[in-house]
Amino acid sequence: VVYLVVFHLSFFMFVWSYWKTIFTSPASPSKEFSLSKADKEQYEKEERPEYQQEILRRAAKDLPIYTTTASRAIRYCDRCQLIKPDRCHHCSACDICVLKMDHHCPWVNNCVGFSNYKFFLLFLMYSLLYCLFVAATVLQYFIKFWTNELPNTRAKFHVLFLFFVAAMFFISILSLFSYHCWLVGKNRSTIETFRAPTFRNGPDKNGFSLGCSKNLREVFGDEKKYWLIPIFTSLGDGCNFPTRLVIMDPEQLTVPSQNDPAKSSGANQSFPTRPLSESQNRLLTSDCQWVESGPEEENVKTG
């Protein structure tokens, strides 16, 4: 009875997580990140890059954007014709901009990003447990196969095939799951691992990390009872994220002046004037605000 319950439960959670990963549509930026009709026409008519950037800076002054390109320019998608939020990237396979894009997964034929990253992690975890469960139950028959204790029938080759397939999938999924667990602990996406986001102090691959505990809550939510269930509980809206590199109270943001270099990024790019969402404020204000230490911490403390 226990065997059947564990088997059916693991299989059900595996299928549920896989289904949610496949059929959850990738989240795209909201309309506020799109240029107005007048700005769009002016941007398309303008041929000089520096004036195009001026148009984008004017349009992005009230948006919660803290990262730029490597050349300190506003991140803009010519394909979708919108200003990219932080951690947003354009997927060439889906042909849309995806919020907090991690990668496009051919195994699920979908982009893995803000809307389904939790489902993807649970899919890997339950796949891992399911393969382990199958390999463990077949192991005794696999041992009998090598000791010639199994009846000489065609079924023994099925046992051999099932064990090797379960074991190989377990090893490959274990490496992938371990890698994504490390990414969650560091609050990075796969893209950010290979290309660090650029803040006002330059590229910083740990710019969005708030400490392992808060990074985990950002993906799985505040209530632990929902962590292992494939329902959406991630914090925030996917368009803006708390970062330890921004020195200001999210509730007391004001419009920066041109003479205040501490509140500008790159080539006169202003920080947003809109406060962060309530869930992100909780991440920033609870417990110790800056958890990680390192060379970047001194730059943060000194402004």
Half-sphere exposure of 99 (CA within 13 A, CB side): 20
The residues that bridge with 98 in the sheet, in sequence order, are 89
The 10 Å Cβ neighbour count of residue 198 is 21
Question: Helices marked H in 154-251 — which ranges?
Answer: 155-186, 190-194, 212-220
CA distance 236 to 172: 32
Which letter does DSSP use for residue 275 in this model? P
- Please give the Cα distance from 207 to 142 (Å, whole number): 49
Active site residue 105: yes
| CA proximity to 270, closest of 53, 67, 57 | 57
How does DSSP assign 213-239, residue by residue? HHHHHHHH-S-GGGTTSSS---SS-SS
Check: CB of residue 45 under 8 Å from CB of residue 110: no
Half-sphere exposure of 103 (CA within 13 A, CB side): 17
The active-site residue out of 77, 80, 94, 105 is 105
Residues designated catalytic: 105
